[in-house]
Structure 1
Amino acid sequence: MTPDDVREVHRIGEIVHPAYPEDIETVKERLSLFPAGSFVAYAKDRLLGYAISHPSVVGKPPALDSMLGSLPEDANCLFLHDIALTEASRGLGLGRSLLDRLKTAAQQANLGRIALVSVNNSRGYWQAQGFRVFEADAALAVKLATYGDDAAYMVLEIA
Protein backbone atom coordinates (compact mmCIF):
# COMPACT_ATOMS: atom_id res chain seq x y z
CA MET A 1 0.00 0.00 0.00
CA THR A 2 1.17 3.51 -0.76
CA PRO A 3 -0.20 6.89 0.32
CA ASP A 4 -1.82 7.13 -3.12
CA ASP A 5 -4.00 4.10 -2.23
CA VAL A 6 -5.35 5.52 1.04
CA ARG A 7 -8.40 7.32 -0.33
CA GLU A 8 -9.62 4.22 -2.19
CA VAL A 9 -8.78 1.96 0.77
CA HIS A 10 -10.87 4.22 3.01
CA ARG A 11 -13.75 4.17 0.51
CA ILE A 12 -13.70 0.36 0.36
CA GLY A 13 -13.60 0.15 4.15
CA GLU A 14 -16.71 2.31 4.41
CA ILE A 15 -18.55 0.00 1.98
CA VAL A 16 -17.39 -3.33 3.44
CA HIS A 17 -17.50 -2.35 7.13
CA PRO A 18 -20.24 0.29 7.49
CA ALA A 19 -20.83 -0.61 11.16
CA TYR A 20 -17.16 0.15 11.99
CA PRO A 21 -16.44 3.59 10.54
CA GLU A 22 -12.94 4.99 10.83
CA ASP A 23 -11.48 8.33 9.94
CA ILE A 24 -9.16 8.38 6.93
CA GLU A 25 -6.45 9.69 9.28
CA THR A 26 -6.49 6.31 11.06
CA VAL A 27 -5.61 4.58 7.79
CA LYS A 28 -2.88 7.12 7.06
CA GLU A 29 -1.36 6.69 10.50
CA ARG A 30 -1.31 2.87 10.35
CA LEU A 31 0.40 3.02 6.96
CA SER A 32 2.97 5.55 8.14
CA LEU A 33 3.77 3.65 11.36
CA PHE A 34 4.20 0.25 9.72
CA PRO A 35 4.19 0.30 5.91
CA ALA A 36 5.53 -3.28 5.83
CA GLY A 37 2.14 -4.47 7.15
CA SER A 38 -0.24 -2.72 4.75
CA PHE A 39 -1.17 -4.34 1.46
CA VAL A 40 -3.55 -3.78 -1.40
CA ALA A 41 -5.01 -6.32 -3.79
CA TYR A 42 -5.37 -5.32 -7.42
CA ALA A 43 -6.89 -7.09 -10.39
CA LYS A 44 -7.04 -5.55 -13.84
CA ASP A 45 -5.65 -2.25 -12.52
CA ARG A 46 -8.49 -1.94 -10.01
CA LEU A 47 -8.05 -1.94 -6.22
CA LEU A 48 -10.26 -4.75 -4.93
CA GLY A 49 -9.21 -4.98 -1.32
CA TYR A 50 -6.61 -4.37 1.34
CA ALA A 51 -5.13 -5.45 4.65
CA ILE A 52 -3.74 -3.10 7.28
CA SER A 53 -1.69 -4.42 10.19
CA HIS A 54 0.84 -3.28 12.76
CA PRO A 55 2.88 -4.69 15.65
CA SER A 56 0.92 -4.99 18.88
CA VAL A 57 0.70 -6.92 22.14
CA VAL A 58 -1.46 -10.05 22.31
CA GLY A 59 -4.71 -9.32 24.10
CA LYS A 60 -4.32 -5.54 23.87
CA PRO A 61 -5.77 -4.33 20.58
CA PRO A 62 -6.20 -0.60 20.06
CA ALA A 63 -9.69 0.81 20.34
CA LEU A 64 -11.67 1.10 17.14
CA ASP A 65 -10.89 4.28 15.18
CA SER A 66 -8.12 5.38 17.51
CA MET A 67 -4.73 6.86 16.77
CA LEU A 68 -1.77 4.83 18.01
CA GLY A 69 0.83 7.57 18.21
CA SER A 70 3.58 4.96 18.16
CA LEU A 71 4.09 1.21 18.09
CA PRO A 72 4.61 -0.72 21.34
CA GLU A 73 8.22 -1.59 22.16
CA ASP A 74 7.09 -4.90 23.66
CA ALA A 75 5.13 -6.01 20.58
CA ASN A 76 4.70 -9.77 20.31
CA CYS A 77 2.17 -10.07 17.49
CA LEU A 78 1.10 -8.51 14.24
CA PHE A 79 -2.38 -7.09 14.74
CA LEU A 80 -4.61 -7.28 11.67
CA HIS A 81 -6.32 -3.94 12.09
CA ASP A 82 -8.54 -4.32 9.04
CA ILE A 83 -9.02 -6.45 5.98
CA ALA A 84 -11.66 -5.76 3.36
CA LEU A 85 -12.41 -7.23 -0.04
CA THR A 86 -14.97 -5.94 -2.51
CA GLU A 87 -17.66 -8.09 -4.10
CA ALA A 88 -15.64 -8.02 -7.35
CA SER A 89 -12.81 -9.88 -5.60
CA ARG A 90 -14.81 -13.02 -4.86
CA GLY A 91 -13.24 -16.20 -6.16
CA LEU A 92 -9.88 -14.60 -6.97
CA GLY A 93 -8.07 -15.93 -3.87
CA LEU A 94 -7.17 -12.44 -2.69
CA GLY A 95 -8.08 -13.13 0.95
CA ARG A 96 -5.65 -16.04 1.10
CA SER A 97 -3.00 -14.00 -0.72
CA LEU A 98 -3.34 -11.11 1.75
CA LEU A 99 -3.11 -13.51 4.71
CA ASP A 100 0.05 -15.05 3.24
CA ARG A 101 1.59 -11.58 2.96
CA LEU A 102 0.62 -10.83 6.56
CA LYS A 103 2.33 -14.02 7.72
CA THR A 104 5.49 -13.00 5.87
CA ALA A 105 5.34 -9.49 7.36
CA ALA A 106 4.98 -10.96 10.86
CA GLN A 107 7.92 -13.29 10.36
CA GLN A 108 10.11 -10.50 8.96
CA ALA A 109 9.28 -8.40 12.03
CA ASN A 110 10.16 -11.36 14.31
CA LEU A 111 6.56 -11.64 15.50
CA GLY A 112 5.35 -15.21 15.93
CA ARG A 113 1.63 -14.47 15.96
CA ILE A 114 -1.08 -12.62 14.11
CA ALA A 115 -4.03 -11.33 16.11
CA LEU A 116 -7.35 -9.82 15.05
CA VAL A 117 -10.86 -9.02 16.17
CA SER A 118 -13.36 -11.03 14.14
CA VAL A 119 -16.63 -9.25 13.37
CA ASN A 120 -19.63 -9.71 11.09
CA ASN A 121 -19.95 -13.42 11.88
CA SER A 122 -16.47 -14.12 10.47
CA ARG A 123 -15.21 -16.28 13.36
CA GLY A 124 -15.70 -19.49 11.36
CA TYR A 125 -13.69 -18.14 8.44
CA TRP A 126 -10.79 -17.18 10.69
CA GLN A 127 -10.91 -20.52 12.50
CA ALA A 128 -10.64 -22.25 9.12
CA GLN A 129 -7.44 -20.21 8.56
CA GLY A 130 -5.98 -21.52 11.83
CA PHE A 131 -6.90 -18.68 14.21
CA ARG A 132 -8.08 -19.60 17.71
CA VAL A 133 -10.23 -17.58 20.09
CA PHE A 134 -8.19 -15.89 22.80
CA GLU A 135 -9.89 -15.75 26.19
CA ALA A 136 -10.55 -12.13 27.05
CA ASP A 137 -9.71 -10.53 30.36
CA ALA A 138 -11.97 -7.74 31.67
CA ALA A 139 -10.17 -4.94 29.78
CA LEU A 140 -10.28 -6.85 26.48
CA ALA A 141 -13.95 -7.76 27.02
CA VAL A 142 -14.81 -4.06 27.32
CA LYS A 143 -13.05 -3.28 24.01
CA LEU A 144 -14.67 -6.24 22.27
CA ALA A 145 -18.12 -5.07 23.36
CA THR A 146 -17.66 -1.96 21.21
CA TYR A 147 -17.39 -4.21 18.14
CA GLY A 148 -20.71 -5.99 18.69
CA ASP A 149 -22.05 -9.18 20.22
CA ASP A 150 -20.27 -11.56 17.84
CA ALA A 151 -16.79 -10.00 18.20
CA ALA A 152 -13.96 -12.33 19.20
CA TYR A 153 -10.26 -11.69 19.69
CA MET A 154 -8.38 -14.38 17.79
CA VAL A 155 -4.72 -15.38 17.46
CA LEU A 156 -2.81 -17.39 14.87
CA GLU A 157 0.53 -18.92 15.89
CA ILE A 158 2.93 -18.75 12.93
CA ALA A 159 6.34 -19.33 14.52
Structure 2
Amino acid sequence: MPVNTDIRRMCAADLPAVMAIQAQAYPPVMNEPEAVFAQRLQASPDYCWVAELDDGLAGYLFGYRSQHGKITALGAGFTPSEAGDCLYLHDLAIARQARGSGVAGQLIKQALAAAQAMKMRHAALVSVQDAQPFWAKHGFKPAAVDDPKQAKNLGSYPPPACYMSQPLAA
Protein backbone atom coordinates (compact mmCIF):
# COMPACT_ATOMS: atom_id res chain seq x y z
CA MET A 1 0.00 0.00 0.00
CA PRO A 2 1.32 3.44 -0.82
CA VAL A 3 2.43 5.70 1.97
CA ASN A 4 0.45 8.90 2.56
CA THR A 5 -2.48 7.99 0.30
CA ASP A 6 -5.57 10.09 0.80
CA ILE A 7 -8.85 8.90 -0.73
CA ARG A 8 -11.24 11.83 -0.92
CA ARG A 9 -14.22 13.04 -2.91
CA MET A 10 -13.35 14.49 -6.28
CA CYS A 11 -13.83 18.22 -6.84
CA ALA A 12 -13.95 20.31 -10.02
CA ALA A 13 -10.36 21.49 -9.48
CA ASP A 14 -9.22 17.87 -9.86
CA LEU A 15 -10.53 17.53 -13.44
CA PRO A 16 -7.33 18.58 -15.29
CA ALA A 17 -5.32 15.93 -13.40
CA VAL A 18 -8.11 13.39 -13.89
CA MET A 19 -8.04 14.05 -17.64
CA ALA A 20 -4.28 13.49 -17.69
CA ILE A 21 -4.67 10.16 -15.86
CA GLN A 22 -7.41 9.11 -18.30
CA ALA A 23 -5.03 9.80 -21.22
CA GLN A 24 -2.38 7.57 -19.59
CA ALA A 25 -4.81 4.74 -18.83
CA TYR A 26 -6.88 4.43 -22.00
CA PRO A 27 -6.35 4.46 -25.76
CA PRO A 28 -7.55 7.65 -27.49
CA VAL A 29 -10.76 5.99 -28.74
CA MET A 30 -11.82 5.56 -25.09
CA ASN A 31 -10.92 9.06 -23.89
CA GLU A 32 -14.04 10.93 -22.89
CA PRO A 33 -14.33 14.75 -22.97
CA GLU A 34 -13.78 16.88 -19.88
CA ALA A 35 -17.34 18.24 -20.23
CA VAL A 36 -18.67 14.68 -19.74
CA PHE A 37 -16.46 14.22 -16.69
CA ALA A 38 -17.68 17.53 -15.26
CA GLN A 39 -21.31 16.49 -15.81
CA ARG A 40 -20.69 13.19 -14.07
CA LEU A 41 -19.07 14.87 -11.10
CA GLN A 42 -21.95 17.34 -10.84
CA ALA A 43 -24.57 14.57 -11.16
CA SER A 44 -23.00 12.26 -8.59
CA PRO A 45 -20.49 14.04 -6.33
CA ASP A 46 -20.93 11.54 -3.46
CA TYR A 47 -19.66 8.66 -5.62
CA CYS A 48 -16.63 10.19 -7.36
CA TRP A 49 -13.26 9.88 -5.64
CA VAL A 50 -9.60 10.57 -6.19
CA ALA A 51 -6.52 9.03 -4.62
CA GLU A 52 -3.93 11.62 -3.72
CA LEU A 53 -0.29 10.97 -2.97
CA ASP A 54 2.31 13.47 -1.82
CA ASP A 55 3.18 14.28 -5.44
CA GLY A 56 -0.39 14.67 -6.76
CA LEU A 57 -3.32 12.61 -7.93
CA ALA A 58 -2.63 8.91 -8.37
CA GLY A 59 -6.04 7.76 -9.58
CA TYR A 60 -9.76 8.35 -9.77
CA LEU A 61 -13.06 6.50 -9.68
CA PHE A 62 -16.38 7.75 -11.07
CA GLY A 63 -19.58 6.07 -9.92
CA TYR A 64 -23.25 6.74 -9.45
CA ARG A 65 -26.39 5.22 -7.96
CA SER A 66 -28.21 3.22 -10.62
CA GLN A 67 -30.36 0.19 -11.27
CA HIS A 68 -28.68 -3.20 -11.42
CA GLY A 69 -28.39 -4.23 -15.07
CA LYS A 70 -28.35 -0.69 -16.44
CA ILE A 71 -25.19 0.14 -18.42
CA THR A 72 -23.87 3.62 -19.20
CA ALA A 73 -22.63 3.92 -22.78
CA LEU A 74 -19.10 5.15 -23.39
CA GLY A 75 -19.17 8.95 -23.49
CA ALA A 76 -22.67 9.25 -22.00
CA GLY A 77 -23.57 11.34 -18.97
CA PHE A 78 -24.79 9.91 -15.69
CA THR A 79 -28.47 9.70 -14.83
CA PRO A 80 -28.45 8.76 -11.14
CA SER A 81 -31.44 6.96 -9.66
CA GLU A 82 -32.27 7.99 -6.10
CA ALA A 83 -34.08 4.68 -5.65
CA GLY A 84 -31.29 2.73 -7.34
CA ASP A 85 -30.17 -0.56 -5.86
CA CYS A 86 -26.70 -0.53 -7.44
CA LEU A 87 -23.50 1.50 -7.36
CA TYR A 88 -22.38 1.63 -10.98
CA LEU A 89 -18.61 2.10 -11.24
CA HIS A 90 -18.13 3.74 -14.58
CA ASP A 91 -14.44 4.57 -14.65
CA LEU A 92 -11.41 3.64 -12.57
CA ALA A 93 -8.00 4.81 -13.76
CA ILE A 94 -4.60 4.90 -12.10
CA ALA A 95 -1.68 7.16 -13.02
CA ARG A 96 1.26 5.36 -14.58
CA GLN A 97 3.57 6.05 -11.62
CA ALA A 98 1.04 4.62 -9.12
CA ARG A 99 0.14 1.36 -10.88
CA GLY A 100 0.73 -1.70 -8.74
CA SER A 101 0.77 0.39 -5.57
CA GLY A 102 -2.63 -0.64 -4.20
CA VAL A 103 -4.34 2.67 -5.04
CA ALA A 104 -6.96 0.97 -7.23
CA GLY A 105 -7.94 -1.39 -4.42
CA GLN A 106 -8.26 1.52 -2.01
CA LEU A 107 -10.58 3.37 -4.38
CA ILE A 108 -12.71 0.26 -4.89
CA LYS A 109 -12.87 -0.36 -1.14
CA GLN A 110 -14.05 3.23 -0.61
CA ALA A 111 -16.75 2.84 -3.27
CA LEU A 112 -18.06 -0.47 -1.97
CA ALA A 113 -18.17 0.83 1.61
CA ALA A 114 -20.17 3.86 0.45
CA ALA A 115 -22.59 1.62 -1.45
CA GLN A 116 -23.11 -0.60 1.57
CA ALA A 117 -23.63 2.41 3.83
CA MET A 118 -26.40 3.57 1.46
CA LYS A 119 -27.96 0.07 1.54
CA MET A 120 -27.32 -0.64 -2.13
CA ARG A 121 -27.66 -4.32 -3.00
CA HIS A 122 -25.15 -4.50 -5.87
CA ALA A 123 -22.09 -2.93 -7.41
CA ALA A 124 -21.58 -3.22 -11.17
CA LEU A 125 -19.32 -2.05 -13.99
CA VAL A 126 -18.15 -2.65 -17.52
CA SER A 127 -14.73 -4.28 -17.60
CA VAL A 128 -12.53 -3.10 -20.49
CA GLN A 129 -8.97 -3.70 -21.68
CA ASP A 130 -8.92 -7.35 -20.54
CA ALA A 131 -9.40 -6.28 -16.90
CA GLN A 132 -11.80 -9.10 -15.94
CA PRO A 133 -9.17 -10.89 -13.81
CA PHE A 134 -8.47 -7.64 -11.93
CA TRP A 135 -12.18 -7.08 -11.20
CA ALA A 136 -12.66 -10.74 -10.25
CA LYS A 137 -10.01 -10.26 -7.53
CA HIS A 138 -12.31 -7.56 -6.12
CA GLY A 139 -15.38 -9.81 -6.08
CA PHE A 140 -16.97 -9.00 -9.45
CA LYS A 141 -18.31 -11.70 -11.77
CA PRO A 142 -19.55 -11.53 -15.36
CA ALA A 143 -23.30 -10.94 -15.51
CA ALA A 144 -25.75 -11.56 -18.34
CA VAL A 145 -27.00 -8.61 -20.38
CA ASP A 146 -30.41 -9.59 -21.74
CA ASP A 147 -31.96 -6.19 -22.45
CA PRO A 148 -31.28 -5.03 -26.06
CA LYS A 149 -30.77 -1.37 -25.04
CA GLN A 150 -28.23 -2.35 -22.38
CA ALA A 151 -26.49 -4.70 -24.83
CA LYS A 152 -26.21 -1.76 -27.25
CA ASN A 153 -24.69 0.39 -24.48
CA LEU A 154 -22.22 -2.41 -23.69
CA GLY A 155 -21.35 -2.53 -27.39
CA SER A 156 -20.24 1.13 -27.27
CA TYR A 157 -17.01 -0.03 -25.57
CA PRO A 158 -14.13 -1.53 -27.56
CA PRO A 159 -14.04 -5.32 -27.18
CA PRO A 160 -13.56 -7.21 -25.06
CA ALA A 161 -16.06 -5.42 -22.81
CA CYS A 162 -17.89 -7.37 -20.11
CA TYR A 163 -20.66 -6.33 -17.72
CA MET A 164 -19.70 -7.49 -14.23
CA SER A 165 -21.42 -7.22 -10.86
CA GLN A 166 -21.30 -8.37 -7.28
CA PRO A 167 -23.88 -8.54 -4.51
CA LEU A 168 -23.27 -6.36 -1.47
CA ALA A 169 -23.94 -7.32 2.13
CA ALA A 170 -27.04 -5.72 3.54
> TM-score of the superposition, structure 2-length normalised?
0.86
Aligned counterpart, 1:127: 136
Any idea what the Cα deviations from partners look like across 1:73-122, whole Å, max 9, x if unmatched? 44110110100001211232111100110012212322121110000000
1:44 equivalenced with 2:92 (yes/no): no
* SS of aligned partner of 2:62: strand
1:146 deviates by 1.7
Counterpart-to-counterpart distance in 1, 2:99 and 2:106: 13
Structure 1 segments of 4+ aligned residues over 6 angstroms from their partners: none
Counterpart-to-counterpart distance in 2, 1:61 and 1:144: 7
Counterpart-to-counterpart distance in 2, 1:62 and 1:140: 8
Contact 2:73 2:157 (C-alpha < 8 Å) held by counterparts? no
* SS of aligned partner of 2:129: coil
Counterpart-to-counterpart distance in 1, 2:34 and 2:115: 24
1:106 equivalenced with 2:106 (yes/no): no
C-alpha RMSD of the superposition: 1.4
Identify if the C-alpha distance between structure 1 residues 44 and 73 changes in structure 2 by more than 3 Å, giving closer, same or farther: closer
**Identical-residue share of aligned pairs (%):** 32
Aligned counterpart, 2:5: none
Any unmatched runs of 5+ in structure 2? 1-9
Aligned counterpart, 2:89: 80
Counterpart-to-counterpart distance in 2, 1:53 and 1:151: 18
Any unmatched runs of 5+ in structure 1? none
1:90 equivalenced with 2:121 (yes/no): no
1:4 equivalenced with 2:10 (yes/no): no
Aligned counterpart, 1:158: 168
Aligned counterpart, 1:14: 23
Counterpart-to-counterpart distance in 2, 1:31 and 1:142: 24
> TM-score of the superposition, structure 1-length normalised?
0.92
